[in-house]
Amino acid sequence: MLKQKFKAQADKLGEEIKQILKEHGDTVIGEIKLSQIYQGMRGMIALISETSLLDAQDGIRFRRHTIDELRQKLPKAKEGGEPLPEALFYLMLVGEIPTKEEVDTLSAILQRRSHVPMYVYETMKALPTETHPMTMFVVGIMALQAESVFAKRYAAGMSKKDYWEATFEDTLDLIARIPHIAAYVYRRKYKEGKILHPDGLLDWAGNFAHMLGYDDEEFKELMRLYMVIHADHEGGNVSAHTTHLVGSALSDPYLSYAAGMNGLAGPLHGLANQEVIKWIFEMQRELKTESPTSEQIKQYVEKTLAEGKVVPGYGHAVLRKTDPRFIAQMEFGKKHMPDDPLVNTVWRIYETVPPILQSLGKVKNPWPNVDAHSGALLVHYGLVEYEYYTVLFAVSRALGVLSSLCWDRALGMPIERPKSVTTAAVKRWLNKE
Ligand code: FCX
């Protein structure tokens, strides 16, 4: 049903795009400044991504729904709880909020497709346990690539008109299997390889929490919220853009997603969540207190900046106010753990850091992003192994980047190939040579 619904919507949008391009294909929508090509292409509109849109002030909207609205409107595992991430996947894919029944069907489909062959676990097991969890995770995804429907059908001579369908099949398989690979990485690295069997009656995120070894109902709720808020952040961020770019060469969804996750593993992107908690632990150790005062935090931030480092979890390339994903986690903290010292420290950092960054005069966004909060919530429930945090981000990000990839193939997006120039060429334009 979901597949047919997606195909019908893709055909409709495909026709509309054809018409738009026929009538307005030559319309100029902006100008490019020289500075932009040297400075990370900030603000340059260069991509189409149907699943979400980021506003500098309001934050992310998934198919026009804010994080707040998603928390109210998406079906939940339990009354008054957090939304089900597979419901967000459904929304991103077809633009409709599913009923609880539709989400339950999707959860059951994902359970059925979740088998990971033994050779994938053996491949990850061959790595030394000191390997970073993100490396283990991506190695697992790469090993699983042998299962790609797209790759097999392409090798057998698949027609262009079927690309979307093979991508759709790989997307569902991957989303179903990713939590198993991620849970294996955690259990192998931190729990002496004691693997936990899935619970076939649980939803996607609830089962992931269970396989990690956290059966507390509140932790399952945290996982549902976490998997929703990290899922997508429009198309230009490193993980989404990389997945899209690699997919544009018709690399299958396994290859494309793995490439994107290598980008997520960078400290200026998804790895910032581990950097935040590491930074806070170091601050606590150095100041010999679990709950540093605002004045102590201020001095520690100034020391961090003086050492030529960034304050992790603060700043953003697009956002210009507090990330609504930070606020959603703050609300979760206020509801479930208002007195937790580490969570309170995160809130005190939030009061202290923005004016300091503002005073530097160069930081465009002094406010916290999603990564500033997530670690403290995980530590509260005992998930203290912070090197693992980016893997959680990667599991969630699969929902956004893979639904986007389905759209790319359904809309027949071409290989991406922007033009680059040398500085010598720039100087020639400017008549400096
Ligand atoms: N602490 C210190 N300095 C900061 C800063 C921070 N948190 N954020 C930005 N700056 C500095 C930049 O390093 C740059 O300095 P420079 O001119 O000396 O090189 C200057 O301010 C201007 O940068 P700006 O335009 O504001 O930011 P960018 O768009 O270039 O970069 C990121 C955005 C997010 C990379 C940047 O703010 C940063 O490094 N933040 C800390 C890491 C982090 O939290 N990343 C997670 C981001 C996100 F949520 C995610 O993808 O997961």
Q: What are phi and psi of 54, to 5 degrees?
A: -105, 130
pLDDT in tens, 200-244: 999 999 999 999 999 999 999 999 999 999 999 999 999 999 999
Is 373 annotated in the active site? no
For the chain, what are the domain ranges?
272-380
244 is catalytic: no
**269 Cα–ligand 1 center, Å:** 10
Task: Write the DSSP assignment of 94-134 as a string of letters.
Answer: HSSPPPHHHHHHHHHHHHHT----HHHHHHHHTS-TTS-HH
Measured from the CB, is residue 371 less than 6 Å from ligand 1? yes
Look at residue 392 and tell me whether its pLDDT is greater than 70. Answer: yes
Our separate counts of H helices and E strands in the chain read 20, 3
Average pLDDT value for residue range 264-290: 96
Determine the angle formed by the axes of helices 389-410 and 163-190, rounding to 10 degrees.
Answer: 170
Q: Per residue in 52-98, pLDDT tens?
A: 999 999 999 999 999 999 999 999 999 999 999 999 999 999 999 99
pLDDT for the residue numbered 194? 95
Task: Take atom 45 of ligand 1 and give the residue whose Cα is closest.
Answer: 268
Checking if the pLDDT of 433 tops 80, the result is: no
Atom of ligand 1 nearest to the CA of 239: 51
Pocket test for ligand 1, best of 360, 362, 393 (most atoms within 8 A of CB): 362
What number is the ipTM of this complex? Answer: 0.99
pLDDT of residue 431: 86
Q: Which atom of ligand 1 is nearest to the CA of 369?
A: 49
Question: What is the reported pLDDT for 286?
Answer: 95
- C-alpha 317 – ligand 1 centre gap (Å): 7
Q: Whose CA is nearest to atom 32 of ligand 1?
A: 316
Domain 272-380 has CATH 2.60.120.10: no
Summarised one tens digit per residue, pLDDT across range 333-382 is 999 999 999 999 999 999 999 999 999 999 999 999 999 999 999 999 99
Q: Which two tokens stand for residue 251?
A: 């690399």
Q: Please compute the mean of the pLDDT values over residues 108-126 and round it to a whole number.
A: 97
CA distances from 166 to 52, 151, 220, 247 (A): 23, 9, 32, 13
**Per-residue pLDDT at 219:** 98
244: phi then psi, degrees, rounded to nearest 5? -65, -45
Integer CA distances (angstroms), 83 to 342, 388, 389, 395, in order: 25, 23, 21, 16
Of 381, 83, 82, nearest to 216 by C-alpha is 381
Mean pLDDT, the chain, whole residue set: 97
DSSP assigned state of 160: G
Compute, in angstroms, the gap from residue 121 CA to the centroid of ligand 1.
37
Q: Judge whether 336 counts as a catalytic residue.
A: no
The verdict on the CB of residue 269 being under 6 Å from ligand 1 is yes
Q: Is the confidence at residue 432, as pLDDT, over 80? A: no
pLDDT one-digit tens code per residue, 7-56: 999 999 999 999 999 999 999 999 999 999 999 999 999 999 999 999 99
Q: Is the CB of 270 under 6 A from ligand 1?
A: yes
